[in-house]
Amino acid sequence: MAAAREPRRDLAAMLVPLGRALTAAELPLLAEHGLSMWAYAVLLRLEAEPLRSQAALAESIGADKTRIIEVLTALESRGLISRTPDPADRRVRLLALTPEGSRVRDAAQSAIQSREDRLLAHYLPPTQRTPFLTALATLSALPPESLTDPDL
């Protein structure tokens, strides 16, 4: 038997439902800005500095590149992103956030994070909030292969 440890629930058993609930809480806030979750993920990922290639964008946000096409088309048509052929290789698209896109992204994120701040303030003591967020930021920044490494 492994060394005794304090009884606790599995990390995934705690993280998955929590993530799902917080995602559900985001949806109405995003809807207020006319955004789907995928659209919001795109806005979070892009910046004024152009990102090279839709395939790279899809990969970095965990989306299917064939499914992201219409999300980008809708965002572009609303003027929230720009999508231009790379002069160096006209197969490739350069993607960038527009000022309007920054504004919408910031407004949505502000609403979401204000709500999250109130949630954390309501349910966690101050001494736990910063370590919790720091640890969560650390773990979520790890590449997935570090997290699923079988030799860990």
Show the site string, 52-71: x = touches its own copies by CB under 8 A, - = not: ----------x---------
Question: Is the separation of the CB atoms in 85 and 95 below 8 Å?
Answer: no
Task: Pick what 4 binds: DNA, its own copies, none; C-beta below 5 to 8 Å, kind-dependent.
Answer: none
Q: Which stretch binds its own copies (CB under 8 A): 47-55, 63-71, 73-81, 108-116?
A: 108-116
Token pair in block for residue 16:
């998955």
Among 1, 6, 66, 141, binds DNA (CB under 7 A): 66
Q: Is 113 in the site for its own copies (CB under 8 A)?
A: yes
Nearer Cβ to DNA, position 53 or 120? 53
CA distance 84 to 66: 18
Closest CA to 96 of 74, 72, 115, 67: 72
Task: Pick what 72 binds: its own copies, DNA, none; C-beta below 5 to 8 Å, kind-dependent.
Answer: DNA
Please tell me whether residue 91 adopts helix, strand or coil conformation. strand
Show the site string, 69-88: x = touches DNA by CB under 7 A, - = not: xx-xx---------x----x
Question: Is the separation of the CB atoms in 42 and 75 below 8 Å?
Answer: yes
| Dihedral sign for Cα atoms in the order 82, 61, 23, 122 | negative
Quick count: other Cβ atoms within 10 Å of Cβ 86?
13
Q: Which residue stretches of 62-149 are H helix?
A: 68-77, 99-123, 126-141, 144-148
Q: Which positions lie near DNA, rule CB under 7 A?
A: 37-38, 53-55, 62-67, 69-70, 72-73, 83, 88-93
Q: Which positions lie near its own copies, rule CB under 8 A?
A: 1-2, 5, 8-26, 28, 41, 44, 62, 109-110, 112-119, 122-124, 127-129, 131-140, 142, 144, 146-150, 152
